[in-house]
Amino acid sequence: MTDRFKMQDPRTQYPAPPFPDQPQPMPGLAGRMEPVPDHGEESYRGSGRLEGRKALITGGDSGIGRAAAIAFAREGADVAISHLPDEEVDAAEVVALIEAEGRKAVSLPGDVMNEEWCRELVERAVSELGGLDVLVVNAGRQQYRESVLEVSTEDFDKTMKTNLYALHWIVKAAVPHLPPGGSVITTASIQAYEPSEILLDYATTKAGITAYTKALAKQLIEKGIRANVVAPGPFWTALQPSGGQPDEKVRNFGGNSDFGRPGQPVEIAPLYVLLASQEGSFLNGEVLGATGGKGIA
């Protein structure tokens, strides 16, 4: 892994396309990707900014959620991760990484499309961690369709439930447990601002996540709780080769960013740490972009 703290040209700091063909079935596993994404397993260094915090991260097995989980643990937090049962291999690696930092790790396999499970995963996280200070709603579904005529009701429903309904269900269950100083962080996307024609349902949910979080922030600050959004651009995660993009776009993924490459999950983890920590104490209802130079306006 590259030394992230050594001054270097960011354009060549991480792998650039073209990448090998690597289609996977949903939901996709990080360990099967080539190159394997850098979630910070070796490259993230903590400094105690989340000492004693208790965090729940959905979609914490791979991608951006995994990077946030590793970073949170190295900053001193105990971490519960939710994930699909099919993602157990990746989730077990994250649990081991959290425990290697001397922090408590909780694995919560289940499907966030189920409202009852969303309530249960929050209650289990609170019970096993002994409370909840930080909620990161990150789990997402992305499946490209070339035409609006190909977006079935089933497609649309699954994407809405995974990306938007679950957000509402999980937040509703978690808010009563969050203390003043607590933080809610959601994951939107550049797709909320610059939607791709092949991601109709996904882009719609990401715009919804942004609006929902901004409205929620106005409510929660009355309780001393902050809510903010992280909006990634092209990041090298298992979401892409498992149906999130056509094979040709995966081969060239991130090539149109200002850097000529996609972001690695570890590169966005510090934004989640900032928003979870007291260093972000004056950030509320904000959207922090990491889009590779494309912007979010």
pLDDT at 297 over 70: no
Q: Is 202 an active-site residue?
A: yes
Do residues 289 and 231 touch, judged by C-beta distance below 8 A? yes
Q: What are the structural domains of the chain?
A: 51-233+262-290 (3.40.50.720)
Sequence-distant (≥ 6) Cβ neighbours of residue 118 within 8 angstroms:
112, 166, 169, 170, 173
pLDDT at 62 over 90: yes
Q: What is the mean pLDDT of residues 106-132?
A: 98
Q: What is the mean pLDDT of residues 169-198?
A: 98
Residues forming a β-bridge with 187: 230
Single out the catalytic residue among 14, 44, 193, 202.
Answer: 202
The Cα 43–Cα 242 span in angstroms is 26
> Residue 2: what pLDDT?
53
> Residue 197: what pLDDT?
97
54 membership: H or E segment, kind and range: strand 54-58
